[in-house]
């Protein structure tokens, strides 16, 4: 069985990290290693959430991109999705 090759979607224009890292769920304390692409998308999602919490709103485009990012993350790494974002 071949390993699944993932790539970021064309709409993703945020920073793409060269290396992955360990992310900790702040509520449960559970940790998960994310590769560089997953970590890039995770930080984008968390960043959108932080902007929303500070401003109380996001543009329609950013909301749409965040929703697409969440879907991408869930499809590409369901285990990490349930540990970190669910």
Q: Total domain count for the chain?
A: 1
Global pTM?
0.90
Q: Is residue 51 part of a domain?
A: yes
Q: Is residue 41 part of a domain?
A: yes
Q: Is residue 17 part of a domain?
A: no
Q: Is residue 73 part of a domain?
A: yes
Q: What is the pLDDT along the chain (86 residues), one digit of tens a residue?
A: 556 778 999 999 999 999 999 999 999 999 999 999 999 999 999 999 999 888 888 899 999 999 999 999 999 999 999 999 98
Distance CA 8, CA 73 (A): 10
Q: Which domain holds residue 67?
A: 35-84
Q: Is residue 80 part of a domain?
A: yes
DSSP assignment of 25-47 equals: -TTT--EEEE-HHHHHHHHHHHH
Q: Is residue 79 part of a domain?
A: yes
């Amino acid at each position: 069985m071949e390993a699944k090759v993932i790539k970021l979607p064309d709409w993703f224009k945020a920073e793409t990290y060269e290396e992955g890292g360990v992310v900790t769920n702040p509520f449960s304390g559970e940790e998960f290693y994310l590769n560089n692409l997953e970590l890039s998308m995770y930080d984008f999602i968390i960043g959108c959430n932080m902007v929303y919490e500070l401003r109380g709103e996001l543009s329609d485009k950013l909301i749409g991109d965040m929703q697409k990012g969440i879907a991408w993350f869930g499809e590409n790494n369901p285990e990490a999705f349930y540990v970190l974002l669910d």
